[in-house]
Amino acid sequence: MRMGQTRPGLKDVAERAGVGVSSVSRVLSGHPDVSVKMRDRVMAAVDEIGYRPDIFARGLRGGPTMSVGLVIGDISNPLLSEISLGAESELRRAGYSLLFVNSMNDPELEAQNILLFQDRHVDGLLLSLSAEDDAGVLAALRTIQAPLVLIDRELDDSGEQLMPSAVLCDHRGGMRAAIAHLLDLGHRRIGCILGGHARFARMRRQGVEEAYAERGLPPTYNIVQGPLDADHGQAATSRLLDMRERPTALVVGGNQLLKGCLRELRSRRVVVGADLSLISCDETDLTEMHDPPIAVVRRDTHQLGRTAAGLLLRRIQDPEEGPVTTVHPTQFVPRASVVPVRETAGA
Amino acid sequence: MRMGQTRPGLKDVAERAGVGVSSVSRVLSGHPDVSVKMRDRVMAAVDEIGYRPDIFARGLRGGPTMSVGLVIGDISNPLLSEISLGAESELRRAGYSLLFVNSMNDPELEAQNILLFQDRHVDGLLLSLSAEDDAGVLAALRTIQAPLVLIDRELDDSGEQLMPSAVLCDHRGGMRAAIAHLLDLGHRRIGCILGGHARFARMRRQGVEEAYAERGLPPTYNIVQGPLDADHGQAATSRLLDMRERPTALVVGGNQLLKGCLRELRSRRVVVGADLSLISCDETDLTEMHDPPIAVVRRDTHQLGRTAAGLLLRRIQDPEEGPVTTVHPTQFVPRASVVPVRETAGA
DNA sequence: ATGAAAGCGCTAACAG
DNA sequence: CTGTTAGCGCTTTCAT
């Protein structure tokens, strides 16, 4: 029974101001050829009736929607959410809004979401994909006209058709530094728990290998690769601790894995920073507040998001711009979870 | 230099299938009056040319956009992100997509974001607002036609114009149970650190008061109210521990506050579960993995999100539906961070 | 410098 | 049951 109360349109503004609709349109889209008088009249009318342009009608004509899509595997991961926060703040400064969608780390959903953003005419896409080589995702991406920025991912894009920009992290360097630190403290049997099939896992593995190779040491490390979740973290920890030549230090590649790892250590009553040295990748509440605090390979996630947004904006605003890749530093932060091997009780 | 390659429209499908545009439209929107033959012809053509409807053109006509907006204070808060995950999963099942926007806990941004969603013609709004009484936010909300669902918030809507549904949590009951547990263990001087001005803080305060009142005990608790952040958590902890009659137990109203609290306890070398009993609200990695594990007042955040989405969908799909409020249980989970007062060393 | 008018892709009358 | 047609609110020629 309620009145239609349709929101005011361009026509209403034009009527109110006693001018033509196209003049109103020109004023609102900053067209140069408008008299000051006209601009004032129109703006006054706009304020009076509280006009807001209809984004759909604009989009229909193919104009920009001033929005950017972010496809993200798991927003509940604090790192990813910080990245998105950084991206959002940068985009907002430029007048763009960021639309999130979760893909639950499911490539099929991811592909759907990419298409969904295309339907919504986003002006660009930020991608933190769960898989770098999923055929469906790649196919969806190829239908996208808008510029793409990958966040800490490398696409397995054989055809090289989609020319994404990318913001990457120097995971290899960070891992190399972490391992080097352990080696300096006398550790030789180091267990590494890695997860996922994305770039970061490959790079971290390389970092481990390089650290040993640089010092001419035999590869007495053990890398346990698996899914990127707490269960793998726990299982891998268990497996490493059960080895005959039990590692004196563990390096864990991410917060989910860390959670599982700590769970296992607790159930075995292994004391971090005494019985065992421990390093994790990426700072979270857990690493910071743990007793003892856990050494980490850290990176500036907020900045990562901001840079990603910046690269995207550049390409949106100037379509001639080519893809750019930036690499962001990582930093090893030693903490009490790491002790020299001498103090470590053997098996 | 690239070819315009404009995406196929309804007209193209109609041409391909040799039928009229409206028939195509009818088939696609599931209109009952279409022959099987027609449906097949059209669907074939749709597949052949890879047609996807233009959501903007649909929206322009005032139709549903199959999207829901979520205004959220801080997506990097694991609780809020879990809620949004729950909401998203429910919405997806119904074919809706969820658009997130962060408001950085800033009411002004919040109001802007509400307007932004309105511009995008969302079919409904999920709100986890940072303030319940901000004039700008309320004004923005009043311009919204779509149904609203509040998540764990009560609006200070004097005019009662906007009839939101709501999903609430029984914070009062949870807090009452937590305090009762402490009282049973002999604690009398209990410090409570609360933060924020939203419903949950009020309810928790009431829970504390009720627990004491129920047993006819004098109010020997101390409630320190402040902003909902780690700094307040730390400052409040410091203040409570400096009291002449130092509390034997602390109850902390949220994960941010907890972080600050733990920071202070660590710097003072206060041992949780021995020198002091500790309870927090809401489960996070920190409460679970802490040594000793921290007792919590828990709630099912994923379910909360799902229910919120469900309530919204009901109102979207049947505009005659009135607003509904559901209250979700909370549960006190005792853990090793809580010990009887006898074992606790006094000041 | 300004206004009139033609669509953008779609849905919903309205005719057949 | 199906095709034709008139807009939805806006931008953009094209005249003036």
What pLDDT, on a 0 to 100 scale, did the predictor assign at position B6?
72
Taking Cα atoms as reference points, which of B276, B227, B52 lies closest to residue A144? Answer: B52
Taking Cα atoms as reference points, which of B112, B144, B147, B177 lies closest to residue B315? Answer: B147
Q: Is the pLDDT of residue B345 over 60?
A: no
Q: Which of residues 25-54 of A touch strand D (CB under 7 A)?
A: 25-26, 28-29, 51, 53-54
What are A202-236's pLDDT values in tens digits? 999 999 999 999 999 999 999 999 999 999 999 99
**Cross-chain residue pair A78–B76, CB shorter than 8 Å:** yes
**Contact between residue B191 and residue B247 where contact means Cβ atoms under 8 Å apart:** yes
Return d(Cα A10, Cα A55) in angstroms, integer.
12
Higher per-residue pLDDT: B62 or A44:
A44
What pLDDT, on a 0 to 100 scale, did the predictor assign at position B347?
41
What are A255-308's pLDDT values in tens digits? 999 999 999 999 999 999 999 999 999 999 999 999 999 999 999 999 999 999
What are B177-217's pLDDT values in tens digits? 999 999 999 999 999 999 999 999 999 999 999 999 999 99
Return d(Cα B125, Cα B301) in angstroms, integer.
18
Residues with CB under 7 A from strand C: A 18-23, 26, 33-35, 37-38, 57, 60-61; B 6-7, 9-11, 21-22, 25, 28-29, 51, 53-54, 57-58, 60-61, 63
What pLDDT, on a 0 to 100 scale, did the predictor assign at position A5?
60
Name the closest residue (CA) to the C1' of nucleotide D8.
Answer: B61
What pLDDT, on a 0 to 100 scale, did the predictor assign at position A75?
87
Q: Percent of chain A, pLDDT > 70?
A: 96
Q: Calculate the angstrom distance between C1' of D3 and CA of B319.
A: 33
Return d(Cα B114, Cα B96) in angstroms, integer.
18
What pLDDT, on a 0 to 100 scale, did the predictor assign at position B29?
86
Return d(Cα B78, Cα B53) in angstroms, integer.
36
Mean pLDDT of the region B293-310: 98
Q: Is the pLDDT of residue B108 over 90?
A: yes
What pLDDT, on a 0 to 100 scale, did the predictor assign at position B319?
85
Query: B62: which nucleotide lies closest, measuring CA to C1'?
Result: D8
Mean pLDDT of the region A33-54: 91
Q: Calculate the angstrom distance between C1' of D5 and CA of B11.
A: 14
**Contact between residue B181 and residue B214 where contact means Cβ atoms under 8 Å apart:** no
Q: Is the pLDDT of residue A91 over 70?
A: yes
Count the residues in chain A.
347
Q: Which of A29-33, A84-88, B147-151, B298-302 has the lowest mean pLDDT?
A: A29-33
Higher per-residue pLDDT: B327 or B3:
B327
Report the residue from B57, B98, B119 with minimal CB separation from A52: B119
Mean pLDDT of the region A3-28: 85
Mean pLDDT of the region A142-148: 91
Return d(Cα B320, Cα A289) in angstroms, integer.
50
What pLDDT, on a 0 to 100 scale, did the predictor assign at position B7?
79
Report the residue from A54, A82, A119 with minimal CB separation from B76: A82
Report the residue from B55, B84, B259 with minimal CB separation from A119: B55
Q: Calculate the angstrom distance between C1' of C7 and CA of B60.
A: 14
Which amino acid is residue B25, in one-letter code? S
Q: Is the pLDDT of residue A125 over 80?
A: yes
**Contact between residue B120 and residue B106 where contact means Cβ atoms under 8 Å apart:** no
**Contact between residue A241 and residue A275 where contact means Cβ atoms under 8 Å apart:** no
Which amino acid is residue B83, in one-letter code? I
A58 CB and strand D closer than 7 A:
yes
Phi, psi of A346 (to 5 degrees): -70, -170
**Cross-chain residue pair A285–B259, CB shorter than 8 Å:** yes
Name the closest residue (CA) to the C1' of nucleotide D9.
Answer: A57
Average confidence score pLDDT of chain B: 92
What are B229-265's pLDDT values in tens digits? 999 999 999 999 999 999 999 999 999 999 999 999 9
Mean pLDDT of the region B300-324: 95
pLDDT band at A1 (very low <50, low <70, confident <90, very high): very low
Residues of A with Cβ-Cβ distance to B52 under 8 angstroms: 115, 118-119
pLDDT band at A42 (very low <50, low <70, confident <90, very high): very high
What pLDDT, on a 0 to 100 scale, did the predictor assign at position B5?
60
Which amino acid is residue B181, in one-letter code? H
Report the residue from A97, A113, A289 with minimal CB separation from B286: A289
Q: What's the gap in Å between the CA of A326 and the closest CA on chain B?
A: 24
What pLDDT, on a 0 to 100 scale, did the predictor assign at position B159?
67
CB-based contact (8 Å) between B267 and chain A? no
Residues of B with Cβ-Cβ distance to A112 under 8 angstroms: none
Return d(Cα A215, Cα A205) in angstroms, integer.
16
A107-116, B122-131, B167-176: range with highest mean pLDDT: B167-176
What is the enclosing helix (H) or strand (E) of B314? Answer: helix B301-317
Q: Which of A334-338, B20-24, B164-168 has the lowest mean pLDDT?
A: B20-24
- Tokens 């006819």 sit at which residue? B216
CB-based contact (8 Å) between A110 and chain B? no
**Contact between residue B247 and residue B270 where contact means Cβ atoms under 8 Å apart:** no
Q: What's the gap in Å between the CA of B51 and the closest CA on chain A?
A: 11
**Cross-chain residue pair B286–A291, CB shorter than 8 Å:** no
Residues of B with Cβ-Cβ distance to A113 under 8 angstroms: 97
